[in-house]
Structure 1
């Protein structure tokens, strides 16, 4: 088996609906601004992004034998992501996303059908054989696979999305095992730089911490003290910000894996994420490596570097250096 990237997690059938405003006002019936369907979910989006960028991707997921599962299977086939790592279940996971005119979204993921599935550890280990990166999303059925994954000695990457506690009980197995940890800024109890410092103190395996900052771009720290901040770019009109974090995470992993340059990787990742949110279905709008290179040259983001380990404590003089 050739070296590649294993991605474990949920693939879901999603319907995205354009609403006129948040909060949504009650009406017995209302015509949306637009509506479309796509196969998404964190693992689906990450795998598809990596595949389009040219990586060898092995997908470990759960797909139902229902109508939605037929659609998911067909779409994974078109994306060349079908393989022996896909496990059958009775039902598929699904979701609905409401999208406002400014691109803000409200998601309703229904993961219960796949959360109940026990993914075979032997199948996972067979798929992981020879891989040089394991992307272990924080889907519930993946949780029991994290300890055996950690024993393989292969770098693990995870995006824990919305988190507000370094000792988060649910996410702790991933945090203890991962070398690369990404998350959203939305619920962090402190500035991103202080979160990075806390992660490195608490989790000795962690080498890279990335934080998606929404409309402000992204920040990243490495264990040796490097701090990178990349400003957001939006090459197209912002339509739907669903999956922007997945796009940032996946693109960073692709570039980092090929260059070992965290600054370049974060810069390229911000550009790709900023372009993808110009689509009604960002998961289906991925660029090839060559297309992304041209886009980055045309829309270079602002990059600032520094050191998180020399930054004053939160709230102190000079704390807001970026």
Structure 2
């Protein structure tokens, strides 16, 4: 793996990593529905409803900020009423900076959430999809970064090739993917050293997918598949497989953003420890804890709280090999 710089000083002798996150920040409304499939009715009272500022980049940046990383958020926020709310929330959590640029309108979305926590996301990203984000803005802040988290938002795509030339490690979560030669996601897959995705549309078992990622994309050093209720599986370039079973300390209320939590927390622990096993264990624990609330984006743990969670809910972990050894 490309060497990552040690970061700067922090109070108490700790170090901080500078992480640049690029992608969409949206206002989301989460709505509790009776279940799926939804039966048509001209009017239906929701089980509950909650709103907040989310979106993949917003959620990832917020988690990393809570974990005391030096986060710079490159995003587009509209000059509309939703934009006022989004900017106010980003300012409140310490993520509003010059990298948040103006757009004509803000992105938004709705998450329909069933009683078992399963959800259907309805993202409306059209207001920002056509924006040309100024690469000079991201490039200026990224040159001395320890990591670039480039989400697969449409307005980020045009910047990936240029970002890869900066010599800073890139991480991406391509979410729902079924084809390793997928034309849309190819720029990220070619540039990233860390690749995450969901298991939902994979054409093969996760173990096989991990091997195929490494075969197709030589720059990749770590690849992870989030498997929902089955936890997560990670492969390393040198052949190791790590599987961590899901843990839900508070039950399951809303699984929205679980993948973002897995991704962001893994990156935080990996940057500090270079231990893929510990990073995946902590990431699975954090994701499982966050989905125990109606609005997971608003609930994140600190390092100290995550350590306490590890002690009270030690994760079940299995080690294997993707390069021929299989599972024990």
Interval containing the TM-score (normalised by the shorter chain): over 0.9
Gaps of 5+ in 1: 313-320
Q: Deviations over 1:92-124 (max 9, x none)?
A: 000001000000000100000000100001111
Q: Say if 2:230 is the partner of 1:222.
A: no
Q: Please tell me the root mean square deviation across aligned C-alpha atoms, in Å.
A: 1.1
Work out the CA distance in 2 between the residues paired with 1:129 and 1:194.
Answer: 35
Residue in 2 that maps onto 1:78: 92
- Residue 306 of structure 1 and its aligned partner are, at CA, apart by 1.1
Residue in 2 that maps onto 1:153: 167
> Is the CA contact (8 Å cut-off) linking 2:71 and 2:95 kept in structure 1?
yes
Residue in 2 that maps onto 1:317: none
Residue in 2 that maps onto 1:318: none
1:1-322 equivalent positions in 2, closer than 5 A? 4-311=18-325, 321=327
SS of 1:95's equivalent?
strand
Work out the CA distance in 1 between the residues paired with 2:35 and 2:209.
Answer: 33
- Residue 296 of structure 1 and its aligned partner are, at CA, apart by 1.3
> Is the CA contact (8 Å cut-off) linking 2:110 and 2:123 kept in structure 1?
yes
Work out the CA distance in 2 between the residues paired with 1:60 and 1:210.
Answer: 24
SS of 1:309's equivalent?
coil
Work out the CA distance in 1 between the residues paired with 2:117 and 2:93.
Answer: 26
Q: Deviations over 1:218-272 (max 9, x none)?
A: 0000000010000000000200000000000000000000000000000000000
- Residue 129 of structure 1 and its aligned partner are, at CA, apart by 2.3
Work out the CA distance in 2 between the residues paired with 1:40 and 1:296.
Answer: 26
Work out the CA distance in 1 between the residues paired with 2:104 and 2:38.
Answer: 33
How many matched pairs? 314
Work out the CA distance in 2 between the residues paired with 1:72 and 1:279.
Answer: 21
- Residue 310 of structure 1 and its aligned partner are, at CA, apart by 1.3
Work out the CA distance in 2 between the residues paired with 1:288 and 1:129.
Answer: 27
4+ runs deviating over 2 angstroms? none
Work out the CA distance in 2 between the residues paired with 1:60 and 1:107.
Answer: 23
Work out the CA distance in 1 between the residues paired with 2:169 and 2:67.
Answer: 20
- Residue 311 of structure 1 and its aligned partner are, at CA, apart by 4.3
Work out the CA distance in 1 between the residues paired with 2:199 and 2:298.
Answer: 25
Gaps of 5+ in 2: 1-6, 9-16
TM value normalised by structure 2: 0.94
